[in-house]
Structure 1
Amino acid sequence: MQKLSDLLKFKYTWRTYQQKFLDGFQEHIKDGHLHVIAPPGSGKTILGLEILTRIGKPTLVLAPTLTIRNQWRSRLLEFFTAKHDFEFLSLDIKNPDFITFSTYQSLYALTKSFDDKGKEMLVEFIKSHGIQTLVLDEAHHLKNEWWHCLYHLKEIEGLTVVSLTATPPYDSSTTEINRYFSLCGPIDDEIAVPDLIKNGDLCPHQDFVYFSKPEEAQIKYIVNYREQILNFTKNLIANKGLQEKLITQDFYVNPKESLDYIYQHPTFFSSIIIYLNSCGYAVNEQNLKILGFSTNDVSFPSFTYEWSEALLQNLLVDQRETFMAFEDILMPLEKELKRIGVLEHKRVNFVGDEVLYRNLSNSPSKLESIYQIVKSTDANLGADSRTVILADFIRKEFLDFEGSDTKVLNKLGVVPIFKYILAKQTGDEKLGLLTGSMVIVHENALLKFKQLLSVEKLQVHPVEGSLGYVFIHVPDALKNKIAESITQLFEDGVIKTLIGTKAFLGEGWDAPCINTLILASYVGSFVSSNQMRGRAIRVDANNPDKTGTIWHLACLDPTAADGGKDMEKLQQRFEAFTGVSLHNEIYISNGIDRLVLPIEWSETTDLEAINADMLEQAQQKSEFKSRWYQAIEKGNVLVRELKIPSASDQPFAKTKKLHALNAGKYVMLEVVLGVSMFVPEFLIKNMGAVIGKGVVQVIYLFCAALILGFGPKTFKALKLYFLFGNQYKKTKKIGKALLAYLLDDKTSYFESKNAIIHVEQHIKGTFSIYLKDASQHDSNVFISLLEEIIAPIDNPRYLLVNSNWLKRKLKIRSYYVVPTDIGKNKKEALLFQKYWNTHVDRSKIQFTRSLEGRKVLLKARFSHLKYQFEAVAKKSITWK
């Protein structure tokens, strides 16, 4: 066989951003991994084919579906061969060729066919056929059992793994995200959406959110749920039986004899102490010493839901066998938690994430949200309106609904959405409903529909309560043409609003005419919905001026200041794609901040005003088109940065709390302002004393008043300042130490030798830090490591501990994490310490896997509970 690059050649000219990516390809592939994010519309499959031709080795391409597998084959023949005559390819994984296109399901089935030694025999099978390159297309689709065989393949020496995705699974659990990146490797490069818009491959677009409140029945459910938890917590604090059991445990009475156990379960141990303290018990001094504190050196946090979860998760689930003697007390607690809904699937969760999320995400109030969006879109765009609504379920039980009493439609789904819109918008003849098992159109569309299907008759019957609409029974022979025909009706305007399931109208379905997408999907990963979002922002050859509007729905929890789980899921969804800011400063970034939504939510939040503004903004097509092009001109690359907000920006953030490095500055400012107001007032009040007693006595009096009035605040300011230093400067120093380590000749995986640190100060005290003149891969490595250093301490192998003379007198220590990848061995940790001591401070390195180290680690973890604001350091992607 000839060289692969001689047999397969791309027949056209590469787009600018594609060529830019290919120019850096050889650098990225050096380590045997290539992980690329390529949004819909960027030619991901074409780039994947070019990559495998350049590697030039026998290749196995794995796709999530047969449709996408077949697209790989057709693209190869269409774009890389002159006469569609490439012979060295196969679609059968059991009979591979030089290039084999298959699916993850087929690989798993092949593994299962080898019986007991499936994974070992799979590795031998791949080796025996000489496959040396593995291409993973949209690996976020992988089901749990599929991961294992791929991990085994990765063990093959010399195997190159190429991962292509439009949407990494950022909304998944931490375990799933870590698993995804351990398989695919860190992101090497990303084709930027701004480049695609600039090049005319995607249309300008904007995301909007329509908010709703729960129905009265849902509010009662939520309030009742919260009240039950509150009562449970009160009863837990009053549970003398549990308290008496805990205070008699060996690890509590004689902690020195149970150091191994305590250091293995530091959070559980801390939760017991905090619980007993809340119950009014004086905490055993020995226990405080184990934590590294004296009795007058610790201020206990409240026994919050998080601490309650930590306590009960261990007692009821994780360490149940250890506490068998507690069964008479634990059984009633377990039954009560299960009754409330706090204990599900072996997880204690007082926030009620899943219980309330299921309740709110499926809220029928979203039906009204959808109707208002459709109504506004039709009024604005008229005949040009092309709206797609995606839902998770069909809900056939509502097919018989008729009338105007929409309260009966109490679940979110394809049929309820269809029925609700018709009930509110009587006489609408432009609706269509399409799922894998159901087709509904207006009778006026039947003639054109039959023409497209090339049939003279169709079996139809009227849809009850939906005047003029018919349910179509499609013969099995025509099922493959249904989506194609409905799509044509949609493009022609016979259907203006198409309602369907995420599963059926997800990947593989394409309609460039879509200009409005409403995501009413909430089950599972949002990735497939995000794929659909990609189709809504594709250019339309028949409409060069197309703009895309994407609507997201959120039902707010009125009892949660952060809006609740539905809002949290929405924020996660926004982390996965970049867009242009909606108001004020023009910029391109990921995350929901660019929509400028309220920081806090309450019953007094004016949702109607927010929604009205969103609807009005959605009509300003030329405005967000202009904002895109202005923002694109301000930059040329997507930069990964770490944003560190001020305390006021994120008062209700729940995770990854960052130490308040600048706390001292704010408290000291309060002292200075207080003194400046105090001095004139003191002189005015004591003018008689100055005249009568003399200046010296008045100065003594003044100093005494000053010390009594402002001494405690001054001490607090000094203590906080020395504990954490100035946030902006300290973070920049830490960044310099990290970059110096990465640029060391011994650090082989960092290639950007000209990289420099850049820190930008924003309004309200927020600032961001990122690398200039660095590759996407290296920027990602830097930001990930920096985030780990300053995040709350979990369980690192090494800590950096700083303790100078003044800090010892103030009983203050500073602790920072040596990141996992750097702390994998002592040699690397010491190298990092060298640069830390050069740029930050003189810190000692502490190994935490020894008894002494566990003690230091426990104190470090406990210390950050006392001095912190609710600020969150988070990764961001910004066009600069």
Structure 2
Amino acid sequence: MSDSTAPEISPVAAFPAVRFKRTLRPSQQEVVAIARRHFAEGRRHLYIVAPPGSGKTVIGLFLWAELARCPALVLSPNSAIQAQWVGKLEHFDLPDHVDALATTGSEPPLWLTSLTYQALTMPDRGGEDLDAQALEFWQNRLVAKGEAKDPVEARVWIEDLARHNRGYYDGRLAIYRKEVRDAAALAGDSLKVLHASSLAALGRLRARGIGLIILDECHHLLGHWGRVLADAHELFERPLVVGLTATPPDRDGKLKEDLDRYDAFFGPIAYEVPTPAVVKDGFLAPYQDLVQFVRPSPEELAFIANASAQFAALVEELCHAPGALNEAGAGQGSPSAPDLAKEFSQCSESMVAWVTRVLAERRLPTGVVKDWLSFERRDPVFADAGRWFLQGRKHQLPEGVPPPPELPADDPNLELTIHVPVLDRYIRHRLRGSADPQDHAIAERAIRRLRLFGVQVTETGTQACVSPVGRVMAYARGKTAAVLSILKAERAALGDRIRAVIVADFERTSSVDTEVKHLLDEEAGGAVAAFRALLGDPETDALDPVLVTGSTVLVDDDLAPRLGEAAAAWLSANRRDVRFEFGDEQGFKIMRGSGSDWCPQTYVTLITELFQRGLTKCLVGTRGLLGEGWDAHKVNVLIDLTTVTTSMSVNQLRGRSFRLDPDDPAKLADNWDVVCIAPEFSKGLDDYERFIGKHRVLFGLTDDGVVEKGVGHVHAAFTELKPELVEGSIGPLNAEMLNRVNRRTEFRKLWRIGEPYHPEPVRALELKLGGGGGAMGFPPFAGATPWSARSLALAVGEAVLGALVESGLLKSRRNIHGGERTGGYVRVFLEEATGDESRLFTEALHEALGALGRPRYVIPRSVDRVEATWLSRLLPKVIGQYFQSRRRELIMWHAVPSALAKHRDLVAVYQRHWNLRVSPGTAVYAHQGEGEQLVADARATGLAPSATIHPKEVFL
């Protein structure tokens, strides 16, 4: 993909006079300026990241019409986005009818040809050559696995399979066809495995002389599509490439070859448009993120409790040594141990005995290592978990094994954190490696049991898998009741302006695990279940809901006559060959269509238009259909019932509500999550963790008007409360969230739309100071006012900043912002700083106020305590305060930030600023001798900081 031999860019003389009729937004103008520089410098790849609704399509069309001025190919992941590219030409002055310039077909290609990725990348499903290669691949696989001694024996077995079990044969052959195609594509021969229709389309496009390829939603190109398009790029003689996406792709689990190809094809991101910037510029609608919490139903709770008990019982059974059921810490009181005892025979060596032996001998699977440090370095997770496990069972650590570090206090799944690594190593290294067949059987039963908790033991370790407990939490029936509460509150606030969208993972499911069939029927958690719930309540039924998925359109029964009339008029006006009728279902109607134009693209467009008009005020659908590419600017309520947490999927889904509504200039969209929690049980916080994961990649508005990345923007409580404490606040939190729907005007003002802002996110710290008197007392300076959390945080910040500037680590002084948040938190950040400056300052401040790890230097902090005297007690308070006495008290030892602790001269600079801003005192070297003991004593006596600190990324 080298650019060295690419042809020079030259305008096509016959290119039509296509001109943009409007004014580009500021962010679009920046993209065009960057593109001009890129192309002028001979670079032929441009990679742009911008949120849904920020005008990516217009950017692409402008680059085509104003810069490239040549035949262009646009590729999109679905037909809805494909059609939008031609539709957006309405914003351009055209010399001819649009049909003469642009097409959504390739026969023939025009100046702008908009196709789907599928149209150019369809693989050939069969053919003698492909089948022959697949069969050879299959034979070699059987020989390599030892299931056949040579290719001849393998071929005989495969032929026999084809005669006696054709279904299985066809399924396996399809798998090996795909492997052959993938291998060819990875080797750069992807065009050889394409269907004839895709090859023909590529040939026509090459003949047209494509000079620009625009790849929309290009995050999809880490796989087959990307392999084909890399080769097609060569076929087209390396035209300009513009990649557009709302979010870079998720790279986990992708092949290195595909990642390298993607990076080489697009290069680094040339320009990224943050969502808050587009909102503050006034080109996307402001929004607020909200949540409702629910508890599992009694039946669901019983299942979760039983699963939790079974996990505890599994651990107990594996800890039973032969003939010693009452070993230390085991006991017989585990609630499900009697039941599991019938399934699990006693192991030849208990898990406690094995862990003790492995730690004592420092034995790894490859052999014994020389010392504990080597053992810990080779398997640090097990080294910690094994020691925690033994201590938890009141079992003495072997001689020579040091105590483990403190347990992670903020881990919501502490039981699994301790036990899963121990179970994994015990199953793989002891039971599977045993000479006793009974141990092998125990291992397999334990593996099956762990799957209940979403843990899959493989040959090389553990990996996450679908957990029945997690599914029960994700699709809990209480969520539908929460949806009704949300919609009632939103309807009361918005009236007829409400346009709500409910998005689920699926329409209904037919793959319910055996363990949960009594809890989850085929509709549980799906779009159909939500739709039925809406119809069952008069207030939400009044929204005239419609369900639309890739295979179904369901309509509120009393809406059907009006919808039928409006649909017929729309189909006629748009010249669609469609006939439809309504079939009766219990409580609703099903729309059945026929005709050459009846397909998801037609009926989704139809229903969306009727939704925009207000004929229906609530759409229910799946993320596959109402996610990427779907556009309805009137959406002002989005309820997310999906389980997706990847940044790519979350950003695409949330973008559905950001569009500006010309009829509602004061629009503020509410984006809702519904979360089920049962923190008292193992895996009972799975849904909460998903909620945290979704918001980890999202910016949102906080109660003090700062746009912050992470779950803290939903509510300050999610920064303040540990997950297990959220349950006790469900009532107040839910009530506050529902109340926010009536405060749209207030929250819209907090966005400060149209006001100046910093163009990039900045790093910040949210601090809650505590321990050793915390922020109490007076600064040890004459005439000072008492410390507050804010004043202390700012004083330490000024000491850090002053030292960084004087030492030359920061080039110039900046202002420090210190704002107070709900719950006693103080947010601190450096104003108008670059990314590097912000990172250096926040990391140094975090170290200065955070817990003592292993600091190189520490420095003391003292405060003045005010005490009454006999005279001050006699006098009125307003006068007596001047006769109080002061007593100075050491209350804390703080770390000197590592950036300022590298040598004594830097420490002296920091000490000078600390003495000026915070407290008298001398820095002490803490890596040995008295200083090392001083740190240990500070931890033991409460003189070490215990502040709660959360690093944040905020947009100002």
- TM-score exceeds 0.5: yes
Match of 2:27 in 1: 17
Asked if structure 1 preserves the Cα contact closer than 8 Å seen for 2:505 and 2:641, the reply is yes
In the alignment, the residues of structure 1 paired with residue 437 and residue 93 of structure 2 have an alpha-carbon distance, to the nearest angstrom, of: 69
Per-residue Cα deviation, 1:382-425 (whole angstroms, up to 9, x for no partner): 3333222222222399xxxxxxxx99997122222222122221
Amino acid at match of 2:655: G
Does the CA-based 8 Å contact 2:356-2:397 persist in structure 1?
no
Q: Which runs of 5+ in 1 are unaligned?
A: 289-294, 398-405, 649-665, 677-725, 744-753, 792-799, 818-831, 843-862
Aligned partner letter, 1:11? F
Residues 169 and 525, structure 1, Cα contact 8 Å, conserved in 2: no
CA distance in 2, matches of 1:115, 1:173: 19
Q: Could you say which residue in structure 2 is the equivalent of 1:256?
A: 370
Shift in alpha-carbon separation, 1:334–1:273, aligned structure 2, 3 A: farther
Q: Relative to 1, partners in 2 of residues 1:185 and 1:762: Cα closer, same or farther, differing over 3 Å?
A: farther
Residue 473 of structure 2 aligns with which residue? Answer: 360
2:423 equivalent to 1:312:
yes
Report how far residue 365 of structure 1 moved. Answer: 0.8
Identify the residue that residue 661 of structure 2 maps to in structure 1: 540
Q: Answer with 1 or 2: which has the greater Rg.
A: 2
Q: What secondary structure does 1:121 align onto?
A: coil
TM-score by length of 2: 0.61
Bigger mean CA deviation after superposition, 104-113 or 491-500: 104-113
Q: Quick one: structure 1 residues 96 and 251, their matched pair in 2 at CA, closer, same or farther if it must change by over 3 Å?
A: farther
Contact 1:640–1:770 (8 Å) recurs in 2: no
Report how far residue 359 of structure 1 moved: 1.5
Per the alignment, residue 623 of structure 1 pairs with: 746
After superposition, give the CA deviation of every residue in 1:500-540 in whole Å (9 maximum; x if it has no partner). Answer: 22222223332222222222222575745643533323122
Identify the structure with bigger relative contact order (alpha carbons < 8 Å, sequence gap 6+).
Answer: 1
The answer on 1:215 being equivalent to 2:331 is no
Report the counterpart of residue 451 of structure 1 in structure 2: 569
Q: 1:642 aligns with which of 740, 759, 763?
A: 763
Whether 1:568 and 2:693 are equivalent positions in the alignment is no
Matched, 1:119 2:186: yes
Task: Give 3-state SS (helix, strand or coil) of 2:566's partner.
Answer: helix
In the other structure, the counterpart of 1:204 is 286
Q: Which residue of 1 aligns with 2:453?
A: 342
Give the Cα–Cα distance (whole angstroms) in 2 for the partners of residues 272 and 546 of structure 1.
Answer: 55
Give 1:750's aligned residue. none
Match of 2:762, SS? strand
Distance in 2 (CA, whole Å) between partners of 1:788 and 1:97 is: 58
Q: How does 1:489-638 map onto structure 2 within 5 Å?
A: 489-523=610-644, 525=646, 527-528=648-649, 530-559=651-680, 564-581=685-702, 583=703, 585-598=704-717, 599-600=721-722, 601-602=724-725, 605-629=728-752, 633=755, 635-638=756-759
**Aligned twin of 1:137:** 216
SS of residue paired to 2:760 = strand
The one-letter amino acid of 1:339's match is: R
1:461 to 564, 583, 607: 583
**Do the aligned residues in 1 keep the contact of 2:74 with 2:215 (CA within 8 Å)?**
yes
Instruction: Quote the offset at 1:545 in angstroms.
Output: 3.9
How has the CA–CA distance of structure 1 residues 733 and 220 changed in structure 2, closer, same or farther, with 3 Å as cutoff?
farther
Name the CA shift for 1:640/1:143 in 2 (closer, same or farther; >3 Å): same
Residue 46 of structure 1, CA deviation? 2.5
- 8 Å contact kept, 1:519–1:529: no
Q: Does 1:332 align with 2:442?
A: yes
| Offset, 1:617 | 1.8
Query: Residues 474-521 of structure 1, C-alpha deviation per residue, up to 9 Å, x if partnerless?
Result: 114242432233233323332222222222222333222222222222
Paired residues for 1:287-326 under 5 Å: 288=402, 301=407, 305-316=416-427, 323=433
Per the TM alignment, residue 248 of structure 1 is displaced from its structure 2 partner at its CA by 6.7
Shift of 1:213: 1.6
Q: 1:344 to 1:272 in 2, by over 3 A?
A: closer
Match of 1:432 in 2: 546
Residues 187 and 638 (structure 1), Cα distance of their counterparts in 2 relative to 1, 3 Å cut: farther
Q: Which aligned pairs between 1:21-170 and structure 2 lie closer than 5 A?
A: 21-24=31-34, 35-50=47-62, 62-69=75-82, 71-72=84-85, 79=92, 82-83=95-96, 104-105=117-118, 109=122, 117-122=184-189, 136-142=215-221, 163-168=243-248
Cα shift at 1:41? 2.0
For residue 10 of structure 2, what is the aligned residue in structure 1? Answer: 3
Taking the aligned partners of 2:109 and 2:830, their CA distance within structure 1 comes to: 45
Taking the aligned partners of 2:32 and 2:609, their CA distance within structure 1 comes to: 36
Q: Which amino acid counterpart does residue 165 of structure 1 have in structure 2?
A: T
Q: What is the identity percentage for the equivalent residue pairs of Structure 1 and Structure 2?
A: 22
Deviation of the 1:134 alpha carbon: 7.2
Report the alpha carbon displacement of residue 636 of structure 1 after superposing the two structures with TM.
1.6
**Are the aligned partners of 2:582 and 2:589 in contact in 1 as well (CA < 8 Å)?**
yes
Q: Which residue identity lines up with residue 15 of structure 1 in the other structure?
A: R
CA distance in 2, matches of 1:321, 1:56: 68
- In the alignment, residue 443 of structure 1 is paired with which amino acid? A
The 2-side partners of 1:733 and 1:576 are apart by: 33
Q: 3-state SS of the aligned residue for 2:536?
A: helix
Change over 3 Å in CA distance of 1:284–1:733 after alignment to 2: farther
Q: Which region of structure 1 is more displaced relative to structure 2, 552-561 or 488-497?
A: 552-561
Whole-Å separation in 2 of the counterparts to 1:202 and 1:576? 18
Q: Please give the root-mean-square deviation of Cα atoms over the aligned residues, in Å.
A: 5.8
Q: Distance in 2 between matches of 1:101 and 1:135?
A: 9
Residues 192-218 of structure 1, C-alpha deviations (whole Å, 9 max, x = no match): 444434554323332221222211112
SS in 2 for 1:477: coil
Question: Structure 1 residue 35: deviation in Å?
Answer: 4.6
1:229-244 equivalences in 2 (<5 Å)? 229-234=311-316, 236=319, 238=330, 239=350, 240-243=352-355
Helix, strand or coil for the counterpart of 1:605? helix
- The AA in structure 1 aligned to 2:289 is D
C-alpha distance after superposition, 1:593-645 (max 9, x if no partner): 2232532454862434333332222123322232223x653x42343333444
SS in 2 for 1:534: helix
Instruction: Classify 1:517/1:36 alpha carbon distance in 2 versus 1 (closer, same or farther; 3 Å).
Output: same
Specify the SS of the correspondent of 2:741: helix
Report the Cα offset of residue 728 of structure 1.
5.5
Q: Distance in 2 between matches of 1:560 and 1:548?
A: 35
Report if aligned partners of 1:642, 1:874 keep a CA contact under 8 Å in 2.
Answer: yes
The size of the alignment, in residue pairs, is 723
Give 1:588's aligned amino acid: V
Q: Are the counterparts in 1 of residues 548 and 619 from structure 2 also a CA contact under 8 Å?
A: yes
Whether the 8 Å contact between 1:392 and 1:502 is mirrored in structure 2 is yes
1:878 aligns with 2:955: yes
The letter of the residue matching 1:219 is: L
**Partners of 1:525 and 1:299 in 2: CA distance:** 32
**Contact 1:208–1:618 (CA under 8 A) maintained in structure 2:** no
User: In the alignment, is the contact (CA less than 8 A) between 2:447 and 2:457 conserved in 1?
Assistant: no
Question: Offset at 1:554?
Answer: 1.5
Q: Distance in 2 between matches of 1:338 and 1:448?
A: 54
Pick aligned residue for 1:417 from 509, 514, 530: 530
The separation in 2 between residues aligned to 1:765 and 1:617, in whole angstroms, is: 21
Aligned counterparts of 1:632 and 1:76: Cα–Cα separation in 2: 28
In the TM superposition, 1:474-489 aligns within 5 A as 474-479=593-598, 480-489=601-610
Q: 1:433 to 1:77 in 2, by over 3 A?
A: closer
More helix by share: 1
